[in-house]
Structure 1
Amino acid sequence: MNSNQQKTPGLNCPKCGAFIPTSISELLSASGLRCPQCHLVLTINRHESKRAMEILKNVDEAQQNLKKATSFQR
């Protein structure tokens, strides 16, 4: 894993192993992710992933609140 991949959130493609960059916001809003290398489309099953999506939403809200608090203090 190179240093860029360590800083950028994402996952490795299950087909070709290429890095697929993503974000919590994208996971919450997109219907799927596309591998930039082999173009495999990974769909997000929101019904089966309901609990994970709720947790991601909570993390996203916490990150947004932290950003607001940090910018307020400056």
Structure 2
Amino acid sequence: MNMDINLHGIERITLVGVREGRTPGGVYYTATLTIEGRDGETSTLTLFADDPESLAIDYRERQEAA
């Protein structure tokens, strides 16, 4: 799933937490962010990955591409 975020309307992005989860198939990691808009609305975004490094690497690659 792709999602475009308009950074122009964002007041603040906060990392709420990173968690490790387990399934019968293995381990996964989630990072939860809250995104506060200038209009006062707040959204929650949860990212999933197979390893914790993927969460950081994916974010860095997207920032460098922008």
Report the TM-score, using the length of structure 2 for normalisation.
Answer: 0.33
Report the TM-score, using the length of structure 1 for normalisation.
Answer: 0.31
- Structure number with higher helix proportion: 1
The structure showing larger relative contact order (alpha-carbon pairs under 8 Å, at least 6 residues apart) is 2
- Structure number with higher strand proportion: 2
